[in-house]
Structure 1
Amino acid sequence: MIVNDRITDYIKSLEPDESPLIYEIGNKARENGVPVIREETAAFLKTMTAAMNPKAILEVGTAVGYSTLLMAEVMAPDCQITTIEKYEKRIPVARQNFEEAGKTECITLLEGDAGELLKGLTGPFDLVFMDAAKGQYLAWLPEILRVMRVGGMLISDNVLQDGDIIESRYAVERRNRTIHARMREYLYELKHSDHLVTTIVPIGDGMTVSIRR
């Protein structure tokens, strides 16, 4: 864990109950090994969404729609979410979850590779949530910046890789070395880009919050 387990448990204990449907979606996903955001991360995402009061949200990585619905819970009634998912088996589950939540009118689910789909978007988006293939974050960044408005917020999840990000590449399992190297490059770019002001938040598996200049 990046943060002391006792602190994380205490933070979780303070959280009010989620809606029964969203709780069930998140719980079932975690039981089945579906990569959804952690509970403490969920609260952070909701808070940032409420703070931005966006009119248009872009999410890269829908999975089963858990984080999508978390944002939909706190956004304005006229806000629209565009969310992208490549993994075919999860797409019908996400669509069903959106329908059960009564959010189909405000959520557009795009099926396919994010690298290709991003090229067809025009934006502008007020809030972008990146939570998909970590090794592709850096490759997607130019298109993300293109569709973000000035003053918009980019939130990226899973950036500290359970703390492995601070290790040398040779201390990381061989199968994870490419992702490790790419994430380090991504974090460096976020912190040194002339187009972004970025902070790294050690919550959950690590998040970044970047504001488009």
Structure 2
Amino acid sequence: MKNEMMHRPIVKEELVNFMRTKQKQLPGELGAIEAEANQEGVPIIPHETVVFLQFLMGQLKPKNILEIGAAIGFSSSLMACSIAEDGHVTTIDRFDVMIEKAKKTYQRLGLEKKVTLLEGQASDILPELSGPYDFIFMDSAKAKYIEFLPECLRLLKKGGVLMVDDVFQAGTILDPIEEIPRKNRSIHRKLNQFLDVVMTHPDLSSSLVPLGDGLILITKEKENVSIDSKE
């Protein structure tokens, strides 16, 4: 379950430590879940991303949220706890172990009615959803980002925000592919393809944020945005 990328910061180590220790910690059970996950090396979003996501929820005030990649249910719980009482989070995961952990997290926090967990492959589930969603958080298999992008944009409302995590691959995203370990080359190619599409598409606005292993925020400027993930 441990993620090697979590321990390769893309900004100066002392600044990462400052962001992770000096910003407000989460209170109560949600804070306890974050602390336990970090102690056990469970790959959840780092604290600087936690603070940013919590702040973003307060500014955007989304009511209908979709997450791709529930993991242990931490980030979906964070969003559920940061939005209005009538807001709702739908999240997707395909791993049985993570699904059970996520369910326990929602039970522990009393969020069973505020979070819907869909079990299965995102590639099968996304086409069945209708949306629209005010906010989508994608934090799943990095090589699948370009594949999931057309469905995410279909489901996202005009002016809504798609936030995608871990796009810098521990700072190696710009390295020549010959320097990338063979096991990571497919991810490297497809992440670069994803970034090229979302950063150059005429109907999308995007902003890179160097938190954690890199975030990108994407907004669609038109109701219908055409993307060919096979290009």
TM-score category of the 2 structures, normalised to the smaller one? over 0.9
* Alpha-carbon distance between aligned partners in 1 of 2:130 and 2:87, rounded to the nearest angstrom: 16
| Correspondence 1:116 to 2:127 | no
Residue 27 (structure 1) shift: 2.9
The aligned residue for residue 170 of structure 2 is: 162
Q: SS at the partner of 1:123?
A: coil
The aligned residue for residue 20 of structure 1 is: 28
Does the 8 A contact of 1:64 with 1:97 survive in 2?
yes
Residue 39 (structure 1) shift: 1.1
The aligned residue for residue 4 of structure 2 is: none
Instruction: Extract structure 1 runs of 4+ deviating beyond 6 A.
Output: none
Residue 21 (structure 1) shift: 1.6
Q: Counterpart of 2:118 in structure 1: which amino acid?
A: L
* Alpha-carbon distance between aligned partners in 1 of 2:130 and 2:114, rounded to the nearest angstrom: 17
Does the 8 A contact of 2:66 with 2:90 survive in 1?
yes
Q: Which moved more, 1:13-22 or 1:23-32?
A: 23-32
Q: Which moved more, 1:154-163 or 1:69-78?
A: 69-78
Deviations 1:131-189 (A, max 9, x none): 01000000000000001100100000000011010101111111000001100000011
Q: SS at the partner of 2:116?
A: strand
Within-5 A mapping of 1:6-85: 6-85=14-93
Q: SS at the partner of 2:205?
A: strand
Residue 14 (structure 1) shift: 2.4
The aligned residue for residue 5 of structure 1 is: 13
Identity of aligned residues (%): 35
CA-based RMSD: 1.2
| Correspondence 1:179 to 2:183 | no
* Alpha-carbon distance between aligned partners in 1 of 2:101 and 2:21, rounded to the nearest angstrom: 29
Residue 47 (structure 1) shift: 1.3
Q: State how many pairs are aligned.
A: 213
Q: Which moved more, 1:59-68 or 1:22-31?
A: 22-31
* Alpha-carbon distance between aligned partners in 2 of 1:164 and 1:20, rounded to the nearest angstrom: 36
Q: Counterpart of 2:12 in structure 1: which amino acid?
A: N
Residue 30 (structure 1) shift: 3.4
The aligned residue for residue 218 of structure 2 is: 210
* Alpha-carbon distance between aligned partners in 1 of 2:180 and 2:201, rounded to the nearest angstrom: 27
Q: Counterpart of 1:21 in structure 2: which amino acid?
A: E
Q: Counterpart of 1:64 in structure 2: which amino acid?
A: I
Q: SS at the partner of 1:84?
A: strand
Q: Counterpart of 1:137 in structure 2: which amino acid?
A: Y
The aligned residue for residue 90 of structure 1 is: 98
Does the 8 A contact of 2:161 with 2:220 survive in 1?
yes
TM-score by length of 2: 0.89
TM-score by length of 1: 0.96
* Alpha-carbon distance between aligned partners in 2 of 1:5 and 1:153, rounded to the nearest angstrom: 29
Does the 8 A contact of 2:130 with 2:155 survive in 1?
yes
Q: Counterpart of 1:53 in structure 2: which amino acid?
A: K
Q: Which moved more, 1:10-19 or 1:170-179?
A: 10-19
Q: SS at the partner of 1:154?
A: strand
Q: SS at the partner of 2:66?
A: strand
Does the 8 A contact of 1:34 with 1:63 survive in 2?
no
* Alpha-carbon distance between aligned partners in 1 of 2:163 and 2:135, rounded to the nearest angstrom: 8
| Correspondence 1:134 to 2:142 | yes
Which residues of structure 2 form unaligned runs of 5+?
1-8, 222-231
Does the 8 A contact of 2:20 with 2:46 survive in 1?
no
Residue 72 (structure 1) shift: 1.4
* Alpha-carbon distance between aligned partners in 2 of 1:30 and 1:11, rounded to the nearest angstrom: 15
